[in-house]
Structure 1
Amino acid sequence: MFSIVIPLFNKKKFICRALDSVFEQRFKEFEVIVVDDGSTDGGGDLVEEQYKEKVKLIRQENQGVSCARNKGIQEAKYAYIAFLDADDYWHPDYLGFVSKVIEENPKVGIIGCHYDPYQLVNEPKLTYFRLENYFKKAVHNTRFFTSATCIKKEFFENQPGFDSNLKLGEDIDVWLRASLFFGDGIYIENTLVYYSKEDSMRATVKSYPLDQTLIPKVLSTEYYSNSIGDSTCSPFTFMKFQSKWTYLNLYQHYFSNDTRIEEVLSRIPKRFFLIHTIYSMPARVLKAVFSSNRISGLFRNYMKFCFRYLYT
């Protein structure tokens, strides 16, 4: 039922923990595909020695996490792709709960699950809900996280996979496009996935130029039209999502003197006066303002307030 895709790059000290959590699943209909993306720490050798034929190990030169995931997807034989990063792990009921959701909702194309960076707890009873009107709410929380997301393989047979040109947001790109393709997904409320913060080199703690992030791509005029399938999200609803999501993420790029900020601002399709007015201030002023963690945090909360109560 599930093809589990695990990209591996220099995470030897974590990979056995991740794989052990897979083989401890109570639900057993799955295959495991580990894509060693040019590791130099011997992680691929460890997988081969410890797990042998239990894991399909693919080795390739380092091409990045998106290419590694795409390679695993290409090799997958089951109808659903479950993703797991090498430094995260699952509760023993994770696949069983996801399979139950699919059994009860056979048309669902994307399933997410609650995750936690500290601990997992016993979850004897499955609880979940449909992410209705997803793009009206995703601006506040996109919900999906790589190690806690399962997608029907059909998506990758009809749409591009993970975008190797993106260094940040390549996963969110897939969740957004899959939600447009399939329609509203389902979210499992049980805490069944451990999200590791142990790797100091993880992408979320790095900064990247704007053109290596999802922001310019999500603003493209073709993003909606190329992805829309069974979703009931209208072009206008998605345009509002594009604009709000961009506003909420753009301020962080003032730290790096990125010259593309003004160009991105000019492409925002739906301008919200109370926020765009602030972004219209000179870049040097905003850089000084946003250099304060306290002030940038207050600004983000201000935007969230505006979007939640004034620009619904």
Structure 2
Amino acid sequence: MPSDTAADAPVTTEELTGFLRDMLLIRRFEEKAGQLYGMGLIGGFCHLYIGQEAVVTGLSAAARPLDRSITSYRSHGHLLACGVPPAAIMAELTGRASGLSGGKGGSMHMAAPERGFFGGHAIVGAQVPIGAGLAFADRYAGEDRVSFVYYGDGAAQQGQIAETYALAQMWNLPMVFVIENNRTASPGSPKQVELTALAAAHGIASEVVDGMDVLAVRQAGRRAAQRCRAGRGPALLEMRTHRYRGHSLADPAGQHSRDDTRRIRAERDPVEHVRRRLRDRGTGEDTLKRIDDAVREEIAEAARLARDAPEPRDDSLFDHLAMVQE
């Protein structure tokens, strides 16, 4: 069972309101991206984060401004959580010149290193050893930073992940491994493996967390980051979460039964969880609706700006390439 509860996490009404807005920003963005994909305005693959919003929101609240993060191709929520404007992400999804990668990267290839976010990586699990490199660079330079390295349960049993566990522990790296376990590993993978045990075998402190509770996530993130900053080595957090949509919009039906998803959404939805806590503190429905309406308006404006923005110039195809001179 998850080892953390909301009761462990004192929180102000102002903080709860911020969590609600941040998670709504991710959810409304992803819903709009799904609409644009269905209209043919987004090409290629598009992987949505709906249902998992509490993970990146809670860990971003636990991080410091100079900390780093890196994840897989499912990166829209992570970009929003580190402060990238929705319009820049939406423009990239629609292939516009004003997009985060100039309209040439699409959903799976976006980064914002100036905000501490190092991608968005299309190869499953490849970001994990890169994340160790970020942490190694900080340790080598004596920087007081922690790297949060996100990956899914489908990647957690890869060989490169095990090698990274070994190196992170041996080099005492300031990194937090974050498994976003939405129980969607491929059917051919072992079902009963305890993902935390794979890291614990290398001596890495590991914890299972309720990834649908933003307060539990924040508290666990704080503990893990504090361990890293104290020089006690890496930590691993297995976030038990539930994604409502499929692997990508190419298979939108999802990898869970509809009844299972409907039940979890009704009982444990991360956004509704925060709404309930705000209601319990006396926040009125009018206030909650204003927050949602403001977010919807922001996302609608981002989509409008993206649709109206120009496409990249033809000759920009050669930008950022080192051309060999004959």
Per the normalisation by structure 2, the TM-score is 0.25
Per the normalisation by structure 1, the TM-score is 0.26
